[in-house]
Structures are given as C-alpha cells and as structure tokens.
C-alpha cells in the first residue's frame, strides 16, 4: 500500500482533502498534529460522493480550526489491483 504525506497549514486542510478525494485513488486519509498524533482517520469508499463527503468535510473543517499546522497522510490503492476486486474472495 502506498502512502503520501502533505504538510499543510490549518487554512489549507479542507482544500487539500478535497483535492485528494477528487483524485479518486485514496483509500484512507489521516490527519495528524505537529506531535504526529492522529487527530482523525477516515476510510474512503469507492463512489463516495456528494452527501457522504459533506459531513466528512465538516469534521475536517472543525479540526482545521483547532490546528495551525498538520500532516495529511493518504493511503492510496494499489495501482496493480483493480478497485472492484478489493474485498472480494475468488473461489
């Protein structure tokens, strides 16, 4: 599983998370504070859009208001494995 980290200010958290979601290849997003403590962690499901993303962004906005700097850690899907096969068992 590949991961990517973004160091951002509190003002840029929401816009960065929106960009990550729009790319569509993230499985999980974690937001950590300066002390590397995880503040929030949420999985992204395939096809999560619109009404499902709005509460998530509200939570991210609340966290952004509390921190000046944070790290966004993005766990990405394996590009070698098709997304539809995740979580399925072949017999």
Q: What is the pLDDT of residues 23-47, one digit of tens each?
A: 878 888 999 988 899 988 888 765 5
- Is 77 within 8 Å of 27 (Cβ atoms)? yes
Band (88; pLDDT cuts 50, 70, 90)? very low
Average pLDDT, the chain: 79
Q: What is the pLDDT of residue 23?
A: 83
Domain count for the chain = 1
Look up the CATH number of the domain holding residue 15: 3.30.950.10
Of all residues in the chain, what percent carry a pLDDT higher than 70? 77
Report yes or no on 90 lying in a domain.
no
Q: What is the pLDDT of residue 46?
A: 54
User: Dihedral angle at the C-alpha atoms of 62, 66, 71, 72, nearest 10 degrees?
Assistant: 0
Residue with tokens 């096809």, as numbered in its chain: 47
Distance between CA atoms of 44 and 56, rounded to whole angstroms? 10
- Is 34 within 8 Å of 10 (Cβ atoms)? no
Report yes or no on 50 lying in a domain.
yes
Range of the domain at 19: 2-78
Report yes or no on 88 lying in a domain.
no
Report yes or no on 84 lying in a domain.
no
Band (82; pLDDT cuts 50, 70, 90)? low
Tokens found for residue 35:
């002390």
- Is 69 within 8 Å of 9 (Cβ atoms)? yes
């Amino acid at each position: 599983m590949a991961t990517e980290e973004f160091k951002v200010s509190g003002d840029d958290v929401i816009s960065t998370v929106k960009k990550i979601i729009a790319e569509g290849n993230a499985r999980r997003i974690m937001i950590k504070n300066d002390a590397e403590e995880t503040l929030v962690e949420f999985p992204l499901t395939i096809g999560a859009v619109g009404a499902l993303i709005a509460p998530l962004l509200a939570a991210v906005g609340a966290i952004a208001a509390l921190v000046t700097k944070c790290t966004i850690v993005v766990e990405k899907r394996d590009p070698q494995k098709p997304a539809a096969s995740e979580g399925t068992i072949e017999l």
